[in-house]
Structure 1
Amino acid sequence: MPDCPKTRRFLLRALLPVLFIGLFTHCSENNDKLQKIREDGVLRVVTRNGATTYYESQGAPAGFEYQLAHAFAEHLGVKLQIIPVVGFDEVFDSLANGNADIAAAGLSITAERQDTLVFGPSYLSVKQFFIYNRDVNAPIKSAKDLIGKQIRVLGNTAHVNLLNELKQTHPELTWAESRDFETIDLLEQLADGQIDATIINSNEFYANRAFYPSFRIGFSAGKPRKLAWAMQATPGNAGLTKAIAEFFKIMTGNGKLPRLIERNFTFNERRTFINTHAFLRLKEERLPNVKGMIEQVAIEFDLDWRLLAAISYQESHWDADARSPTGVRGMMMLTRATAEELNIEDRRDPMQSLRGGARYYKKMLSRLPSSIESPDRSWFALAAYNIGLGHVEDARVITEQLGGNPNLWNDVRENLPLLRQKKWFKPTRYGYARGDEAARYVRNIRDYYSLLTWDELNRYRVPPPRIAADYLPAEFNRGFDAM
């Protein structure tokens, strides 16, 4: 085409509006999503329904991802709208079609997902566990032991990628994928013997393990996966991505993120579950007989009935006639002196005992320094219930001396055992105490409380479907024909 000034001027006039619109659109989109969220006053978050993400407890929202998302919405000064879905496909669809601003659903950062998604900072690193039910299966210790086993995993996850990697060295390996299941569905099928093994992230395993005491970790495979929030990889999300990064920097710096993780994933690798069977059995045999009384007293003293139930189980296993060699007795195992202080006439009367224990716990709660915030405040009160407020205060002083935060239960718990050592208890005001027992006491109650909480979640949940034989690979069909 001939190069003439008239042609160049014509093309310039034609292209300038297009370039200008494109430039303006690109600039305005950089903060468009964050600006729209603030203008609308709502942050839309898609998540999965489960113990580590989002669920409802007694009509109130709960779960790690929910708590984190709620904190972010408060950080932005907007309301939170939770969009619960089932399966990872629905999570990604909600982002793709614009129904959600971010996904907070326990998502692993993978190379494949980074083609279409942008991730915020990682908040948790998890291992990938192959687990089995020891009551119905032989131990699974390596990938070789998986050959010929009925394995099922969640579809469109890093677990599928892990199996594909293992298949390169173990070509006989086969499995089935489910895109419309959740983690708890796989756990239920493993418990029922419908499958032999599955893969689950370590945080989900520890959050659910207490319900499945026969489950065991066969082995861990692949590299640890980093979990993070996700958004669509578009220029319009640049401002939101930056805001999320700033939020996590603040949460990490002030210690709130580690505390949130610790509160939600209390069942860890060091935890033993030798008493879980007994708890689950007595929960069915004894709790129904006393639950009404526990709920009534909890209402009277403005307590969560599950916390009162957990305390009374720790004290007496819900036995109104319980008695220790030291003379404490009753549902809440009150001493004679404490009973007299609380005007309890008959420690063996379950209602009187429950009221006395609740009153004493509330007393400990009210006497704690105002600098201790909830939920740590509850754990401090439980420790005081066990060894006395004075010893708890001594442990707080030691914690501060060692550079810890005396208002954080996690820090003080680590130093409670020092009250057994002369070097540490001699300078204290109240002296020697079995601080390690107090720490264990609180830990047990938190465990029992978690068991009761998850039980409520599962009680009202629709049972997972059984696997239809024709939904499995051909090599599985023979094993399921007998069902």
Structure 2
Amino acid sequence: MDLGLKNRVARAVRGIVAVAVAAQIISFQGCIGPTFEDDSLDQVMERGKITLLTRDSLHTHYIYRTQHTGFEYDLASAFADHLGVELEVRSVKEEKLFSLLRSGQGDFAAAGIRVTPVRKKLVDFSEPYAQSQMYLVAHKDNRLILSVDDIKGKTVYVRKGSAEEYCLRRLRDGGIHFKIETRRKTVDNLLSMVENKQIELTVTSDRTADLYRRYHPAIQTLFPIGDSMPVAWAVAPGQASLREAINRFLEQAEDNGAMHAVNTRYFGNGTYREYLDLRRFHNRIKSRLPRYQDMIKDVAREKNLDWRLIAAMMYQESHYDPEAVSRTGVKGLMQITRTTALEMGIENRLDPRQSIEAGADYLNKLIGMFPDVPEPERTRLALASYNVGYGHVRDAMALARDLDMNPMVWPTLEKTLPLLRQKKYYSKAKHGYCRGYEPIHYVNNVMAYYDILRRKAVVLRS
């Protein structure tokens, strides 16, 4: 056989074999069913609705005055808007999150979920949007535990099945001998037990520690436990298209500042208040606030405001002292100026009722002067105006535009208000020099106090 014929025969044989192998593969695939095609995102878009699985806690999702709120809810709501679909919220117990997700009873889970090797076997995770470091937590009176070695022989209480438990078990496997007690409790419950000295030790993340110290000022974080862990959203295994849509959204939220704004809204105000100041606030809301609480509620109802916001402002202004007078001559519970008193139509700034009414009316007026700013940022801008003046806040917004920053969010104004102390900026501002740091401290303090007061009315369903 000549060489050319031999090559042609060889090619023909290889072709026949290839066809036969392909036929067998197709036949085999027919036996096991068609290859999987992910249509998870298409299903969401077709339904016009996406279902969030979450758990109720003060740092994820909760109900306040019949409204959904919380870090994870706000971020998930922005994701639904990004897709152009309705958001449905299912609040469930933490231990059921992954089983419900895998069984199709939710589209994605967002609940401050730390990514662990065990969990990666159960679900698919998005790219992380935060890092979380666990810390050992004790009462402030505890001066005996200075390092990891000092927990030998101790008992540490954590939530059952939590990432905190995972970190502790890894620590113990490394040779540190202590006891782990698991409880079906919330982070808030366990921290309250530490504060009340019912238990000695628990663990929580740095992401939530500052937030919860507002409510439990007698606790302290001691030292980190283990390595930091990524925090991410989760989808059922194989739902690649929905996972990719989440990743695109999270990347966009990081780039356009939306992630920073939501973080600041829920965690940024926790710029940790000094222990004695927080203790004093908690004492004052028990000893002084009750004298004015009914009055505040009446006024708030008339003015369509949340009475807890007025109460938070009142503490920041006067510490609930009706005879308070500042060095600049502002007076009363709400520290009303002469000009504001005349504008709001009150005669006696030291009269509690008149002071509360004038303060509420003025706050309402300021809120109405920012119709271009969506809530909740509008209220923060109004609070800044209450403290330093509407004109200065508008100057800070104009400066933000000049610097190509988003003027509609508080984190931006936290950067531009202090710039109005510098001549190169205030010389061009309509209202001139501004004590830019004062409104930042004022707004963040008021929002921290407001958050503490709101906590008492929060509904945790799961």
TM-score normalised by length of structure 1 = 0.84
Deviation at 1:271, TM superposition (A): 4.6
- Answering whether residue 393 of structure 2 is matched by residue 387 of structure 1, we say no
Partner of 2:259: 257
Give the alignment of 1:105-254 within 5 angstroms.
Answer: 105-135=111-141, 137-178=142-183, 180-234=184-238, 237-254=239-256
Whether the 8 Å contact between 1:152 and 1:198 is mirrored in structure 2 is yes
Which stretches in structure 1 are left out of the alignment for 5+ residues? 1-8, 463-483
Aligned to 2:359: 357
> Following the alignment from structure 1 to structure 2, what is the Cα–Cα distance between the partners of residues 285 and 229?
43
Residue deviations 1:288-320, cap 9 Å, x none? 222222222222222222212211221122233
Measure the CA separation in 1 of the matches of 2:105 and 2:272: 41
Separation in 1 of the partners of 2:205 and 2:454?
21
Name the SS for the 2:327 alignment partner.
Answer: coil
Structure 1 contact 139–218 (Cα < 8 Å) conserved: no
Aligned pairs for 1:260-339 (under 5 A) are: 260-268=262-270, 271-339=273-341
Check conservation: 2:135, 2:206, Cα contact below 8 A.
yes
Q: How does 1:425-440 map to 2 (within 5 A)?
A: 425-440=426-441
Task: Provide the TM-score with structure 2 as the length reference.
Answer: 0.87
1:43 to 39, 47, 50: 50
Aligned partners of 1:391 and 1:430 also within 8 Å: yes
How far is 1:151 from its partner? 0.5
For residues 363-402 of structure 1, the aligned pairs below 5 Å read 363-368=365-370, 370-402=371-403
Tell me, what secondary structure is at the counterpart of 2:345? coil
* 1:132–1:190 Cα contact (<8 Å) kept: yes
Q: Which residue of 2 aligns with 1:84?
A: 91
Task: Specify the code of the residue in structure 2 equivalent to 1:260.
Answer: V
Give 1:422 shift: 4.0
- Structure 1 residues 12, 327: CA separation in 2 closer, same or farther (over 3 Å shift)? closer
Q: Identity across aligned pairs (percent)? A: 34
CA contact (8 A) 1:384 1:392 kept: yes
Tell me, yes or no, if structure 1 residue 101 matches structure 2 residue 107.
Answer: yes
Give the C-alpha shift of residue 446 in structure 1.
0.9
Deviations 1:89-134 (A, max 9, x none): 2222222333222211111112222122100121111211111112
- Unaligned 5+ segments in structure 2 are 1-18
Q: 1:441 to 1:139 in 2, by over 3 A?
A: farther
Letter of the 1:240 counterpart: L
Any idea what SS the aligned residue of 2:233 has? strand
Counterpart check, 1:56 vs 2:66: no
Q: Residue 29 of structure 2 aligns with which residue?
A: 19
| 1:15-72 Cα shifts (integer Å, max 9, x gaps) | 8676347564613xx10x3333344443222211101111111221111111222222
Structure 2 match to 1:470: none
- Summarize deviations over 1:272-296 as a string: whole Å, max 9, x none: 3431111111111222222222222
Distance in 1 (CA, whole Å) between partners of 2:226 and 2:187 is 19
- Could you say what secondary structure the match of 2:109 adopts? strand
Secondary structure of the corresponding residue to residue 113 of structure 1: helix
The answer as to whether partners of 1:118 and 1:233 remain within 8 angstroms in 2 is: yes
Listed one character per residue, the Cα deviations across residues 364-396 of structure 1 (whole Å, up to 9, x for unaligned) are 22333x543322222121111112122223333
* d(CA) in 2 for partners of 1:20, 1:86: 41
CA apart distance, 1:397: 3.8
The C-alpha deviation readout for 1:435-458, integer Å capped at 9, x for no partner, is 21121111111111111112222x
- 2:457 counterpart SS class: helix
- Give RMSD over aligned pairs: 2.8
- Counterpart Cα distance in 2 of 1:13 and 1:408: 61
Deviation string 1:161-203 (CA, Å, 9 cap, x unpaired) is 322332244342222223x322122212222323211111112
- 2:78 maps to 71
Counterparts in 2 of 1:333 and 1:12: CA distance versus 1, 3 Å: closer
Aligned residue for 1:450? 451
SS of equivalent residue, structure 2 residue 155 = coil
Q: How many residues align?
A: 444
Note closer, same or farther for the CA distance 1:442–1:267 as it changes in structure 2 (3 Å cut): closer
- Which 10-residue stretch deviates more, 148-157 or 204-213? 148-157
Contact 2:102–2:237 under 8 Å retained in 1:
no
Query: In the superposition, relative to structure 1, how do residues 93 and 333 fare at CA in structure 2: closer, same or farther (>3 Å)?
Result: same
Q: CA deviation at 1:212?
A: 0.9
